[in-house]
Structure 1
Amino acid sequence: MTPYYPLVFACILGFATSHPRTENLAENIVATQSSLADFRGWAANAIDGNDMTDPSKGSCSRTSVESDPWWRVNLHYHYRVYVVKITTSADKALEGANIHIGDCLKNNGTNNAVCASNVSIPAGDTKVIKCGDIGVHGVFVTITIPGTEKCISLCEVELFGAPEPHSDIHHEH
């Protein structure tokens, strides 16, 4: 009987980690960004559950100043996202950002549906953004600022929605 214990544990672990989330969808999963401004500005800092706005404390993400910077989270499951909550760093406002949600990574996710466009949040503030009346469906959530000489600095990004599995037959990835 002993040989079956690892198999049972693996099956239980696989089921537990593949089930969709119902709380903040973005907390402690996988995030990436277009560049890294310094050793404290990792993409994952924006989904660590800590909304401290002091970037020197290591709880904020930050891209380098560049053209069309982006920050993205992979939800690993299909959700209909209704609300995006963003907290900016105390020293950097978010100006003119677009939030895209979908299943495609073409053009760093900017080909996906738009949840919100031209979003601006003062430095050190939090804003709750609604994705329309019916939300937006997808696996990837990308925040981008179009233009040159731009930087994205996020201290916390929270996503709220509902699981929405679908068939891959008519779905582009």
Structure 2
Amino acid sequence: MEFDEYVAVRGQQLVRLGYVLSGDHHRAEDLAQHALMNAYRHWRRVQGMDDPHAYVRRILVNAHISATRRGSSRETPVAVAASGHSEPDPASALAEHDAMWRALAALPPRERTVLILRYYEDLDHASIAAALGIKESTARATLHRALASLRAAHDPPVAKGTSSEHDRP
């Protein structure tokens, strides 16, 4: 197995081991990087071993033990001050963005076009109507339908007997 393949297969496993050992994600990445750098230097010899992963894992464990013996004299952890608000999870923002694009792509072409002209191109109803060759009232109604479809795709239906956020005072 070549070194690049090894890293692709076992790299995240080394980071997880480093995290379990150190309890810190950044320190875990440093431990994994240290182990991989040392293994890379001697990869021909490591590659020929019965279990190369055991050797690299041992490098990582030894690096962790050495760091704890030193007392981490080179780095001093600093407490992160509470900001009073939590940061939004970037993954949820990406999921919401993806869901919105899927909902937009599922709209009929005219509704999608009206939405894009209104909110991306920032055109008013009259300009949208002129661009599509339709009446202004048709442009408004189409925009209304498109927004209703997007809302329906974004907000799951509420089961009978339960209240939604919109029903609460």
Higher strand share: 1
TM-score, normalised with respect to structure 1? 0.21
Q: Which has the larger radius of gyration?
A: 2
Higher helix share: 2
If asked which structure has higher relative contact order (CA below 8 Å, sep 6+), I would say: 1
